[in-house]
Amino acid sequence: MLESKIQTKLIKELESKGYYVIKLSVTNKPGIPDLIALPPGSNAEFYEVKQEGKKPRALQDFRMKEIRDGSFGRTFVHDGETIEKI
């Protein structure tokens, strides 16, 4: 499945659970995860979306580590089938 279709499906799923979801397309930080999802009354979640079997690039891993180390939120990798908490 195309990454864009996986993103659309994930956004719909999260929004159906009450999340406020923002898709990031152009940012000042290359490698930032694709989506920011804000669950009601909780911390931010950052989702990197990949096609099934694909892994984040080194810069994407670095950005997710920055997010975690700064306590800005939780990070996940989603491939359309599974969501891996990083």
Claim: this prediction has a pTM higher than 0.75: yes
pLDDT of residue 86 exceeding 70? no
| pLDDT score of 9 | 92
| pLDDT score of 22 | 94
| pLDDT score of 2 | 85
Question: What domains can you pick out in the chain, each with its CATH number?
Answer: 3-85 (3.40.1350.10)
Tens digits of residue pLDDT in 27-82 = 888 899 999 999 988 789 999 999 988 899 999 999 999 999 988 889 999 988 76
DSSP sequence for the chain: --HHHHHHHHHHHHHHTT-EEEE--S-SSTT--SEEEE-TTS--EEEEE--TT----HHHHHHHHHHHHTTS-EEEEE-SS-EEE-
